[in-house]
Amino acid sequence: MKYLPIDKAEEFIATALQANQVPAADAKRVAQLMIQSDMVGADGHGIFRLPAYIKRIRAGGINLNPNIRIEREQGATALINGDNALGHLVMNRAVEVAIEKVKQHSVCWVGSHFGNHSGAASVYVRKLAEQGYIGIYMAVGNANHMAPWGGIDLLLSTNPIAIAVPAGDHPTVLLDIATTVAAYGKVKVAAQKGESIPDTWMIDKKGQPITDPQKSSEGSLLPIGGYKGYGLAVMIGLLAGTLNNAAVGKDTIDFNAHHDLITNTGQTIIAVDPNAFGDREQFVQRVITLVNDLKASSKLPGVNQIRVPGDGAAKVMAERSKQGIPISPELKEALNQCAKECGISVLDL
């Protein structure tokens, strides 16, 4: 495994995007946001996605000069029209609007449609937590990989949800999960590396486990917690998709298979100011107290450490800030092939 320094990774992405007519400022912003996915260990959502994004751009599936705008606005709510821009730009704007509104209303709900894949959900709620706010994110995934509980028709996506709670100088308490046992990006990474996947991730149309990621198109991802995860995926689809006049269910476009089609991706950001419920600093101290109590609690035999949501990401961020982004031989090959097609310098690792 080789490591690519953070600044070099951002430069590589930005250069590739600019080579495909993405404006310089947008390319730089997208590169920074993409690498933030890698920084927390969400390797299926960061630089790994660059070749796929370039394919969509070249096929005309992305608007490179969008008018990202507030389409509807009422009180503490807003609906953003992403104008089929690169998804990171749409969600970056959604967070900006959320911060403006939470300062005014103490709570806000910002939906978006006509967006695109925007990387790890944690990237956006973390931005809110760093400003002292509670952040909640929901989205409809960019391809249907899950059948309804007991069914075989792929009508639902991984539909992620992320929640971030500020904890002062301590690591942000942050949950970022797909409603499936594994995000489809992890399946794609395993396929790229030629590795198998656990038999708990996917089943075929007869209900039998799939362990070969190359056969993922023949089956369905399994929901977390059985029917409960299925129900959660449905509700997130309604709140991030249906409510936002975005694609969900049969209307969802598989962006892996159709690079030229508009996905109309729906996403939602909710922000809450703890000051609305009491003193913010006292709230943070109560958060820290709970975190410390959880970590100090008695352990089962063989367990060395009790972690809370966000611990893993904080550890990875610290490591990768020094080491850089891990680049497998397979990923290096894919990125260098992309570089050659874009007419830019390949990675020298």
Q: Map 150-168 to HEC letters.
A: CCCCCCECCCCEEEEECCC
88 is known as an active-site residue: no
> Where does the pLDDT of residue 183 fall: very low under 50, low under 70, confident under 90, or very high at 90 and above?
confident
- DSSP bridge partners of 270: 109, 136
Nearest to 263 by CA among 243, 240, 244, 247: 247
Find the angle CA(106)-CA(72)-CA(63) to the nearest 5 degrees. Answer: 110
pLDDT of residue 48: 96
What confidence tens digit (pLDDT) does each residue in 273-326 have?
999 999 999 999 999 999 999 999 999 999 999 999 999 999 999 999 999 999
Catalytic, out of 45, 88, 113, 117: 117
What confidence tens digit (pLDDT) does each residue in 116-137 have?
999 999 999 999 999 999 999 9
* Cα distance between residue 232 and residue 295, in whole Å: 28
pLDDT of residue 256: 85
* Cα distance between residue 38 and residue 44, in whole Å: 8
pLDDT of residue 103: 98
Q: How far is CA 89 from the centre of its chain?
A: 13
> Where does the pLDDT of residue 155 fall: very low under 50, low under 70, confident under 90, or very high at 90 and above?
very high
pLDDT of residue 201: 96
Q: Which residues contact 281 (CB under 8 A, 6 or more apart)?
A: 168
Average pLDDT for residues 238-253, to the nearest whole number? Answer: 98
Report residue 206 as tokens.
Answer: 């007869």
What is the radius of gyration, based on Cα positions, of the chain?
A: 20
Q: What does residue 124 show for φ and ψ, rounded to 5 degrees?
A: -90, -40
pLDDT of residue 308: 97
pLDDT of residue 179: 97
Do residues 240 and 139 touch, judged by C-beta distance below 8 A?
A: yes
pLDDT of residue 296: 97
Q: Count each helix (H run) and each strand (E run) in the chain, helices first.
A: 10, 12
* Cα distance between residue 159 and residue 168, in whole Å: 29
pLDDT of residue 349: 87
* Cα distance between residue 2 and residue 140, in whole Å: 33
Average pLDDT for residues 327-338, to the nearest whole number? Answer: 96
Do residues 92 and 33 touch, judged by C-beta distance below 8 A?
A: yes
* Cα distance between residue 173 and residue 289, in whole Å: 12
Sign of CA dihedral 341, 43, 110, 146: positive
| Residue 1 pLDDT > 90 | no
What confidence tens digit (pLDDT) does each residue in 64-117 have?
999 999 999 999 999 999 999 999 999 999 999 999 999 999 999 999 999 999
Question: Across the chain, what does the average pLDDT equal?
Answer: 96
| Residue 185 pLDDT > 90 | no
Average pLDDT for residues 201-208, to the nearest whole number? Answer: 95
What confidence tens digit (pLDDT) does each residue in 20-76 have?
999 999 999 999 999 999 999 999 999 999 999 999 999 999 999 999 999 999 999
| Residue 188 pLDDT > 90 | no
Average pLDDT for residues 177-197, to the nearest whole number? Answer: 92
Average pLDDT for residues 250-262, to the nearest whole number? Answer: 93
Find the angle CA(155)-CA(160)-CA(162) to the nearest 5 degrees. Answer: 160
Q: Please state, as a whole number, how many other Cβ atoms lie within 10 Å of the Cβ of residue 176.
A: 24
